[in-house]
Each structure stands twice: as C-alpha cells, then as structure tokens.
Amino acid sequence: MLIFWEKRLVFLATPKAGSTAIEAALEGLANLAVQRPAELKHTNLRTYRHHIEPWLHSITGEKFTTIALMREPISWLQSWYRFRLRDDGDDPDHTMIGMSFADFAAAYADPAGSAIAQVGTQSDFLTTTIDRVDRIFRYEEIESFTHFLEDRLDCGISLPRVNVPPAVDVSLSPGQAEQLRRVMADDFALYASL
C-alpha cells in the first residue's frame, strides 16, 4: 500500500497484480509505503475503509482516492500458481511438488481443496458489500494506469520487472477453464466492468 499525502491518493496493492513493481517505482514518491508484512502491504478495501480511511480523514478532513490494479482472473490464478511453485522450492516436502496448474485450479475451485490454492478473490480484495476501489485499472492495460499516475503525481514513471515468476505450463482444458469461470464469476463480472 502506498499513500500519497499531498495528492490524496492511496494505492491498494492487489496481490499478483504488479504491486511489487509499482512499489519499487513509486516508493520514493509516496509519503507512506507499507511493504511488510504481506498482510499490511496487501491491505484490502474493506480494511482500508474500516481502519485507514477514518484515520486519514480525521487528520485531513478530506477523502483520499483509492486506486488499484486487477488482473484477468485466470491469468491472476496462473500467477499465484507460478508464485507458489517458486515459494519454498528447495523444501523436499514442498506441497507444490508434482502439482500441475490444472490440479491447482481444481483445488482453488474446491472450498475443501488444498490450502495452498486458497488464495481468495480479487473481487473480495477490491470491493465491499457497498462499494469498490475508486479507480481500478486492468493489469493488462498497465499503460493507462501509469499515465494516470504520471498525470496525478506530475512525474514520469518507469516500471521495473521484479518478482517475475518462472515460466511453466499453465494450460487448462476448455472444461476446466469453464469451471474456473463459474467459480470466479464475481471476479469476471468486476473485470468486465472496468
């Protein structure tokens, strides 16, 4: 999470949607950069509205604009899979050993599936029951996000390539992809609205 005090702007770092690159590029411009622990770095809208927004408002008397990125839902899950493959890769008991993306996707779709695949949803991160992040940009169209930031922060922005997961097979059968579309219906609806 990055807070730009003078610009009244808050970047909420959606997991697996370029947040590490954004923070690497903009940390020096932010008045507050929360990068650790992950639970604070990836503060969702609900937590922001409940805890951080009231604090900012009590000091400034103003509302801060929230911004975030959202990744195409299946691509987002593929990114989680590649990340989990890399995580603890030297551990011989690593739970991802031998797990294909199709297995990971099936575990994600099953509420009783492996805990390693239970990574939440982008819609839960970016929305509450009554509202959503003020400006959500598609990760796949990151240029519009950087142009928005350049205009708002009055500076040029170049995003580094960091935290890039390994290239692996992340294919699904049409039936598996359709099952994910049903399970991720809220994410797909939010993504389509952007």
142-194 pLDDT per residue, tens: 999 999 999 999 998 888 776 666 678 999 999 999 999 999 999 999 999 99
pLDDT digits (tens, 9 = 90+) for 125-149: 999 999 999 999 999 999 999 999 9
Instruction: Name the residue range of residue 98's domain.
Output: 2-192
Of 82-91, 97-106, 131-140, 144-153, least confident by mean pLDDT is 82-91
Higher pLDDT, 52 or 163: 52
The chain-wide mean pLDDT, for the chain, equals: 91
Mean pLDDT in residue range 80-91: 76
* pLDDT for the residue numbered 41: 87
Spatial distance between the Cα atoms of 42 and 126, rounded to a whole number of angstroms: 11
Mean pLDDT in residue range 15-26: 90
* pLDDT for the residue numbered 20: 87
Higher pLDDT, 104 or 89: 104
When divided into structural domains, the chain yields a total of 1
Is pLDDT at 92 greater than 60 in this prediction?
no
Most confident of 10-14, 97-101, 163-167: 10-14
Q: Is the distance from CB of 81 to CB of 16 less than 8 angstroms?
A: no
Spatial distance between the Cα atoms of 164 and 188, rounded to a whole number of angstroms: 24
Q: 116: which residues sit within 8 A by CB, 6+ positions away? A: 84, 95, 96, 104, 107
* pLDDT for the residue numbered 158: 86
* pLDDT for the residue numbered 162: 65
Integer CA distances (angstroms), 172 to 79, 100, 164, 166, 191, in order: 14, 10, 21, 18, 20
